[in-house]
Every structure is written in C-alpha cells, then in structure tokens.
Chains A and B, each alone.
Chain A
Amino acid sequence: MNQLRRTFLKSAGSLGAVAVAVGAGLLRPGQVFAAAWNKVAFTATNVTEAMKEAGYGGAADSKDILIKVPEIAENGALVPVEVTSKIAGTTNIAIFVDQNQNPMIADFEIGNGTEGFIVTRIKMNKTSLVRIGVKAGGKAYTASKEVKVTVGGCGG
C-alpha cells in the first residue's frame, strides 16, 4: 500500500488532474474496474462454460450483432475482429473463439456515450467460430461467424 501511495503522490505531482484520477484509481482499483478479472471465465476450456461464467449463458441469437472478420486468416496470431451491436442499450461486448484452448478472449464494458462498436485483433489457434456475446438491458445476445485459419497463432 505504501508503494502505491508513493506512486500516487509522485504522479499527482508531475502530471496534473488526469494523473490524479488514475492515481486514485490505483489506490482503489475496485472503483475503476467494474469487476475484477474473471479468472474462472478466462481459464474455462470450453466455450459454453466460458460464456456461462462470463454472464452470457443462454444468450439468444441476434441478427443485430454484426461481425466483420476475414473469411480466411493466414496468420492466426493476428485476426482483425470488428463488432457492431445495433441492440439498444448495449453495455458489454465479449469475444469468444470456440477452438482456442481458453475460448474467452475479451469482455468490453462500454458506457458514457460509447457506441456498440469495438475493433481489435485476436489470436486464433485454428479454424473456428468466432462468437460474440452482447449484454443489453440485463439480457444476453449472441452471434457467430467462422474464420478459417491457415497457421495457428497460440503457439500450442
């Protein structure tokens, strides 16, 4: 705790208001991160379990989730994923890959004006469905798309 306090004081002094906010966050991580890192979901080895643990269990299929992924990814270590959720009141977007050792890849909680849109790059072990989970108004929705992977990118 003392170490954190020191970091806090130092950054507050040198970087101004934003650093103060971040520094305060370091002292009370619970207030910055809505939830602690969901270890159970991230270490689950099958997609159904991972989705259930992450709060996407029993998600309804939705056509309002648009997934933009390459049909064929030559390099599994770098697969671009673009998700658009047209579901009103989207609060979370999560990415799962069925055939990865640990299917859960990421969960993005959005708010304060952020649109239901996330772009990132992921690693895929082999050809698999990329499954998107969306939470809106306390309900879970899902959609998926297949990506064919030529060379796996998890190094397993």
Chain B
Amino acid sequence: MADDMKIRATMQGDVADVKILMNHIMETGLRKDPKTDKFIPAHFINEVVVTLNGKPVVQAQWGYAISKNPFLGFRVKGAKAGDKIAVSTVDNLGGKMQGEAVVA
C-alpha cells in the first residue's frame, strides 16, 4: 500500500495544502509496442475520490491524458491539523489503490 501513492498535507494558515503523487503507468492506448507493432492497451486511473474526515473534498474523473504517475494538488479551507485525508482510485481495468495521511 505504501507504494501506491504519496500524500502530503500541511496547514498553511486555515487552509490545508494537499499534494498527492500516485504510482500509475497511465497508458494511453495510443502507443505501439515497437517489437510487436501492436497497440499497448490503455490502462489509466479514471476515478479518484479524496475525503477529509470522511467527507468528499475532491471527486475527479480522469481520461488517459493525465500524465504518468499522476500528481494532484488542491487546498481545503477549514481543515485542521490531525484531520484525516483518504484517497481512493479506480482504473479502467478495475484496479484499485488507496492511501491515507494526516494533515500536519
């Protein structure tokens, strides 16, 4: 699980600055394998949900054009140190990843 993603959440004033780095190949399905000359099948995260203390703060739908090893940054007002950030993702092949962090 530790390898799925890195999450850093720090308080800046009354706003939590959240940065998430996920480990995912984000294959577009448009690239050809040079050896076989066949398209490499698409494999990308298409749904991301981030919650703060169980309440959804960001719910994203993604296409394949989010870069490999996706980065997501956002800010939540009214959060406080010790709040719990939970991230879950689903990719187009049904693969799931999860991560958790505490706001510092």
A interacts with B = yes
A residues near B (Cβ < 8 Å) are 17-19, 21-22, 25-26, 29, 32-35, 37-38, 42, 77-79, 82, 97, 100-102, 104-115, 117-124, 153-156
Asked whether B47 lies within 8 Å of A33 as measured between CB atoms, the reply is: yes
Shortest 9 CB-CB contacts between residues of A and residues of B: A155-B31, A119-B73, A121-B67, A113-B78, A123-B65, A109-B59, A105-B65, A114-B57, A42-B63
Cβ distance A146 to chain B, nearest Cβ, rounded Å? 17
Asked whether A106 lies within 8 Å of B60 as measured between CB atoms, the reply is: yes
Name the residue of chain B whose CB is nearest to the CB of A94: B61
Q: Given the known inter-chain contacts A42-B63, A120-B66, please indicate yes or no for A154 contacting B30, CB distance below 8 A.
A: yes
Asked whether B67 lies within 8 Å of A109 as measured between CB atoms, the reply is: no
Asked whether A110 lies within 8 Å of B65 as measured between CB atoms, the reply is: no
User: What residues of A have a CB within 8 angstroms of the CB of B62 in the complex?
Assistant: 105-106
Q: Given the known inter-chain contacts A42-B61, A114-B76, please indicate yes or no for A120 contacting B49, CB distance below 8 A.
A: no
Question: How far is it, in angstroms, between the C-alpha of A117 and the C-alpha of B70 when the chains are bound?
Answer: 17
Secondary structure at the B interface, as helix, strand, loop or mixed, is strand
Cβ distance B35 to chain A, nearest Cβ, rounded Å? 15
Beyond the given pairs A107-B61, A108-B58, 14 more chain A to chain B contacts, judged by CB atoms under 8 angstroms and listed by A's residue number, are A33-B49, A35-B61, A78-B68, A109-B60, A114-B57, A115-B15, A115-B77, A117-B75, A118-B73, A119-B73, A119-B74, A120-B71, A121-B70, A154-B28
> Looking at the complex, which one of A21, A79, A108, A123 makes contact with B51 (CB distance below 8 Å)?
A21
User: What residues of B have a CB within 8 angstroms of the CB of A123 in the complex?
Assistant: 26, 28, 64-67
User: What residues of A have a CB within 8 angstroms of the CB of B84 in the complex?
Assistant: 18
B56 in contact (CB, < 8 A): yes
User: What residues of A have a CB within 8 angstroms of the CB of B70 in the complex?
Assistant: 120-121
User: What residues of B have a CB within 8 angstroms of the CB of A17 in the complex?
Assistant: 54
Question: How far is it, in angstroms, between the C-alpha of A133 and the C-alpha of B30 when the chains are bound?
Answer: 25
Question: How far is it, in angstroms, between the C-alpha of A38 and the C-alpha of B60 when the chains are bound?
Answer: 11
Asked whether B86 lies within 8 Å of A110 as measured between CB atoms, the reply is: no
Cβ distance A7 to chain B, nearest Cβ, rounded Å? 9
